[in-house]
């Protein structure tokens, strides 16, 4: 179905949210959505639920009122994991939420059992599990995922779907020849090219099935020319990558402030401890390298040495992550920032953030699912850089500069939402006039 320019197809029916990886982030998201639906929780952190848009004459409208988003009551869920336990057992093992909070939604969580995952331990070397698909080629694996998507849509009686990657960080795999075009990528799937990790197979399957896709991990997934080409051909929106939750979230707040004051920055040392599955996986140097690329790339854009060599030419930026089991999902980060002021005098900033990784990530999953679905109904497809606000390493179209400044990202997000709100208003007028989308 085509969408007329400047129009948004109305929400109708159910929206299926597909989750590769039923770990801490996914199960916290699922439990939270159901708790909100049962009036047991408030949607802290979810722009799609409690955010506002400012219009003309300083008029403010709640986002759910201004935009035809899918309501939480119409969301249904399915996912994949390398372990067969249902979402309730997975949530208990993740140990993010209390037993009391989980008990309140146990029946709902037990109804979500993962499908066998596409997984290969050479890409996540510190994990392995029995609940995986077997097939002769990666093309067959992609086709099996497409069958999963279609079956889940049918079983859930869902009209539309979105996919949000919530699985573990894969080892850093630099783009190769097979990523340069869709034809090369599909040939590489057939040839079992080791340059194609599971996340790219999921992204390919989603796009082939017409499902919007967002990558919440730092590994390279849909951010390759081949899958950008497929997204354009299929007219499907994509976004990524790496949910911006804790330390990097604060980094994209502090660094723009230092830049605006034109203070020098000599060094920025960042260290994290966490004890969840993510921390365990990141102990592997290959997976850590994927995370390091996204976390260190932030300051290069925010504090440009080429424009201000006197301020940032000597900047030393170091990031480390340590697995520390006692903390579980309650991550703690420290930043030591060495800055320079008037007449070259040194000063120091210390930041200690005690956060909960999955608690911060869960509302991002919700916002992305609802906004990507809205974008598709508005006829927006390809790379959705207006969603950069949610990511450490924003996926942007070729030739577009990457913006890391949180405040500029927020303004871009709101501009897009305001544009969609005007489209929604126009659509409602057209509906009253009997406009036919068929």
367 and 291 in a common domain: no
For residue 293, the model assigns a pLDDT of 81
Q: Determine the structural domain holding residue 346 and report its residue range.
A: 247-354
Handedness of CA 223, 227, 228, 231 (dihedral sign): negative
Q: Is it the case that residue 145 has pLDDT exceeding 90?
A: yes
pLDDT beyond 70 at 5: no
Quick check: 117 pLDDT over 60?
Answer: yes
* Same domain as 396, residue 337: no
Mean pLDDT of 11-38: 97
- Does residue 60 register a pLDDT over 90? no
Same domain, 313 and 185: no
What is the torsion angle, in degrees rounded to the nearest 10, for the CA atoms of residue 324, residue 326, residue 331 and residue 334? -60
> Do both 110 and 179 map to the same domain?
yes
The encoded tokens of residue 36 equal: 């909100």
Contacts of 397 (CB under 8 A, 6+ apart): 228, 382, 383, 385
Mean pLDDT of 322-329: 91
**Model pLDDT, residue 197:** 97
- pLDDT for position 292: 81
- Where is average pLDDT lowest: 121-130, 293-302, 378-387? 293-302
**293: enclosing H helix or E strand:** helix 285-302
Region 402-419 average pLDDT: 95
The pLDDT-based confidence of 88 (bands split at 50, 70, 90) is very high
CA angle, 290 as apex, 326 and 294 as ends, to 5°? 95
Do residues 363 and 336 share a domain?
no
291 and 368, same structural domain? no
Is residue 158, in this structure, part of any structural domain at all?
yes
Q: What is the pTM of this model?
A: 0.93
Q: What is the pLDDT of residues 361-406, one digit of tens each?
A: 999 999 999 999 999 999 999 999 999 999 999 999 999 999 999 9
340 and 374: one domain? no
Verify that 162 and 114 share a domain, yes or no. Answer: yes
Residues 276 and 412 occupy one common structural domain? no
Whether residue 160 is found in the same domain as residue 194: yes
Residue 3 resides in a domain: no
Whether the CB-CB separation of 216 and 242 falls below 8 Å is answered with yes
Share above pLDDT 90 across residues of the chain, in percent, rounded to a whole number: 83
Span 344-354, average pLDDT: 97
Q: Is residue 4 part of a domain?
A: no
Are 278 and 422 in a shared domain? Answer: no
Kindly report, residue by residue over 313-325, the tens digit of the pLDDT: 999 999 999 999 9
Backbone dihedral angles phi then psi of residue 217, each to the nearest 5 degrees: -110, 165
Last residue of a domain, one of 354, 374, 404: 354
pLDDT of amino acid 3: 56
Q: What is the pLDDT of residue 279?
A: 84
Residue 114 falls inside a structural domain = yes
CATH number for the domain spanning 407: value is 3.40.50.720
Q: In this predicted structure, what is the pLDDT of residue 426?
A: 61
Return all residues near 174 (Cβ < 8 A) that are at least 6 apart.
220
């Amino acid at each position: 179905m085509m969408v007329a320019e400047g129009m948004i197809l109305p929400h109708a029916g159910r929206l299926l949210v597909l989750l590769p990886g039923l770990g801490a982030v996914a199960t916290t998201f699922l439990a939270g959505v159901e708790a909100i639906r049962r009036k047991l929780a408030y949607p802290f952190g979810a722009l799609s639920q409690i955010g506002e848009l400012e219009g003309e004459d300083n008029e403010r409208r709640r986002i759910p009122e201004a935009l035809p988003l899918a309501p939480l009551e119409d969301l249904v869920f399915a996912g994949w994991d390398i372990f067969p336990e249902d979402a309730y057992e997975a949530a208990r093992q993740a140990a993010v939420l209390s037993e009391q909070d989980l008990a309140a939604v146990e029946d709902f969580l037990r109804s979500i059992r993962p499908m066998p995952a596409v997984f290969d331990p050479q890409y996540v070397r510190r994990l392995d599990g029995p609940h995986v698909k077997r097939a002769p080629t990666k093309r067959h694996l992609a086709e099996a995922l497409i069958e999963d998507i279609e079956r889940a849509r049918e079983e859930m009686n869902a009209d539309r779907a979105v996919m949000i990657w919530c699985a573990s960080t894969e080892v850093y795999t630099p783009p190769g020849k097979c990523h340069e075009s869709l034809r090369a990528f599909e040939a590489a799937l057939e040839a079992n090219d080791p340059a194609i990790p599971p996340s790219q197979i999921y992204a390919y399957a989603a796009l082939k099935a017409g499902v919007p896709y967002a990558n919440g991990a730092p590994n390279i997934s849909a951010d390759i020319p081949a899958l950008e080409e497929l997204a354009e051909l299929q007219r499907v929106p994509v976004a990524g990558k790496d949910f911006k939750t804790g330390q990097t979230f604060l980094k994209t707040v502090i660094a723009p402030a230092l830049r605006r004051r034109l203070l020098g920055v000599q060094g920025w040392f960042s260290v994290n401890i966490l004890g969840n599955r993510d921390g365990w996986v990141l102990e592997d140097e290959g997976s850590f390298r994927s995370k390091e690329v996204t976390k260190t790339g932030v300051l290069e854009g925010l504090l440009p040495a080429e424009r201000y060599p006197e301020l940032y030419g000597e900047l030393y930026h170091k990031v480390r992550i340590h697995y520390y089991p006692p903390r579980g999902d309650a991550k703690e980060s420290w930043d030591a920032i060495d800055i320079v002021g008037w007449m070259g005098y040194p000063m120091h900033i210390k930041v200690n953030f005690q956060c909960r990784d999955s608690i911060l990530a869960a509302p991002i999953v919700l916002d992305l699912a609802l906004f990507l679905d809205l974008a598709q109904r508005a006829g927006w497809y390809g790379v959705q850089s207006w969603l950069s606000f949610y990511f450490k390493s924003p996926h942007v179209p070729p030739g577009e500069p990457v913006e890391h400044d949180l405040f500029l990202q927020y303004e871009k997000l709101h501009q897009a939402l305001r544009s969609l709100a005007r489209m929604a208003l126009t659509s409602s007028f057209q509906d009253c006039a009997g406009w036919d989308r068929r």
